[in-house]
Amino acid sequence: MTTIVEADQHISVLWGDFKNRDSEAFRLMRYVMRVDYEKVVLLHNAVTGHLIVLDDAEAEMLETFPKPYSPEMEELVRDRFLVPEGFDEHRQVANMRKILWKLEDAQRESGIVRYTILPTTGCNARCYYCFEQGVKRVTMTEQTARDVIEFIAAHHNGKPIIISWFGGEPTTATKRIDQICEGLREKGIDYRSEMTTNGYLFDEAMVEKAEMLWNLKSLMICIDGVESNYNRIKSYIYTDVSPYQRVMRNIELLTSRGIQVDLRMNFDLNNHKDFPELLKDVERRFKGNANLRFRTHPVNGEYADESGCVVHGDSDWFSAKVYEFNSAIRKAGLLRKSRKLLILKYGGCEASNDAAVVITAEGMLVRCPEQFGDDQITGNVRDGITNPQQVLSWKEFIEYSKCVNCVLYPRCNRIKNCSVKDLCNYFLELKKVAEDSITQHYKEWSISARG
Ligand code: SF4
Ligand code: SF4
């Protein structure tokens, strides 16, 4: 075998070696991905990240597993592509994950550097699937914004920070965004920001302010259908112009100023048929625009549509559709290829990370921007963390019996409290992206090996 990408040393050392080679038959490890490309066989260990190309004899050997140990298998056994037949790699990975996560959590440098801030929970749209249905509409007061600035100044530990503006619709509360940015500037705190927005309220002046004052580098905008459906689903409070046309114009404005826009179509059984036409329109407007990326995403949650039906679709359906849609977007050149190979993931999202915090419109601290009810409060911007137990509850992970044999298991690490559907909805897409990265690495390696 020849190595194309080395294994991660920490993970390999932690895994250790198989002591007894003679007493058991060996088989392929469950979390190894095989890609047959042109005339070669590529194996990728999704735990250690190791990528190899097999020689002919090894490739032939693969067809007849399980088989007793022989010296020709040594390298594949040593690098955990092959494991004893009775070996429990699921338990091994679960244990390593716990150890590595505890180590990383303990070694994390102090200081909060990522702030998700909700300047308001109010919104100018009324999407039927919004997770904020029934949430009290609150806009941050001037005093709370002052407290937010002081909280950041006291906790960033001299480091640059990233702010994610979230809501509600953050652009309906730009006064508070301006105030917080001006306050950080006065204090000499280095910040940049990103935003989740429906994009409706942007115009030339707001785009300029976003660039100059908010230091806005990227934003995520959802377009959930073709013009007529988008306007119906969003159900904006304005009626003077077509919101679809206005948001598309704003995306042009934003990207022309170098701000990255991640355009997302949330879909379910209600609106999936809109995808081909929407893609055509996005392609017509933005093909070749380096600041725009388009992707699709299953609607999360179990919300009823306008007629009261819960019609979202199951995991297999979503997985097939995400793959189909994103393949079409890739073909249109609107989704950048990833070179990332699979490797053991042991941390969670920012909700489990002490260097990140979410600040609500009322100045409360919570862990996840999608769950900010009273039962989720961990503290506030005046007193800091007051409920450390609540913080700890976001460091617990969960898995299901179906994960044991899934090749994505090393990559899939889900926080117990997370309300978003698991990665099964993206299974085919993630597998395809991983396979493409494997062949991409191989192609680059073979070009450089030829010299
Ligand atoms: S949650 Fe789904 S994709 Fe993730 S490991 Fe389990 S079965 Fe696989
Ligand atoms: S919804 Fe889930 S993945 Fe997203 S921030 Fe919350 S806990 Fe993390």
Domain assignments of the chain as residue spans, ordered by start = 2-87+426-449, 197-337
Closest-lying ligand to the alpha carbon of 353? Answer: 2
Rounded Cα distance between 307 and 94, Å, is: 43
Rounded Cα distance between 229 and 249, Å, is: 18
Closest CA to 220 of 256, 261, 172: 261
What per-residue string of b and e applies to 28-51 under the rule 16 or more CB within 10 Å gives b?
ebbbbbbbeeeebbbbbbbbbbbb
> 14: Cβ below 6 Å to ligand 2?
no
Rounded Cα distance between 433 and 119, Å, is: 36
Q: Kindly report, residue by residue over 342-364, the tens digit of the pLDDT.
A: 999 988 889 999 999 999 999 99
Is the overall model pTM greater than 0.75, yes or no? yes
Strands 67-68 and 25-28, sheet pairing:
antiparallel
Residue 311 pLDDT level (bands cut at 50, 70, 90): low
> Mean pLDDT for the chain?
90
> 359: Cβ below 6 Å to ligand 1?
no
Residue 372 pLDDT level (bands cut at 50, 70, 90): confident
Residue 239 pLDDT level (bands cut at 50, 70, 90): confident
Domain 197-337 top-level CATH class:
alpha beta
DSSP 8-state secondary structure symbol assigned to residue 43: E
Closest CA to 234 of 288, 271, 195, 259: 271
- Ligand 2 pocket mutation, candidates 196, 349, 413, criterion most atoms within 8 A of CB: 349
Cβ atoms within 10 Å of 100's Cβ, excluding its own: 18
Asked if residues 138 and 362 have their Cβ atoms less than 8 Å apart, the reply is: yes
Residue 398 Cα to ligand 1 midpoint, Å, equals 11
**Is pLDDT of 54 > 60?**
yes
Residue 405 Cα to ligand 2 midpoint, Å, equals 24
**Is pLDDT of 368 > 60?**
yes
> 398: Cβ below 6 Å to ligand 2?
no
Closest CA to 225 of 304, 369, 129, 131: 129
Q: Kindly report, residue by residue over 382-409, the tens digit of the pLDDT.
A: 999 999 999 999 988 888 888 899 999 9
Closest CA to 116 of 402, 429, 412, 349: 349
Rounded Cα distance between 101 and 415, Å, is: 13
Report the range of poorest mean pLDDT among 132-136, 141-145, 153-157, 397-401. Answer: 132-136
Rounded Cα distance between 433 and 252, Å, is: 28
> 214: Cβ below 6 Å to ligand 1?
no
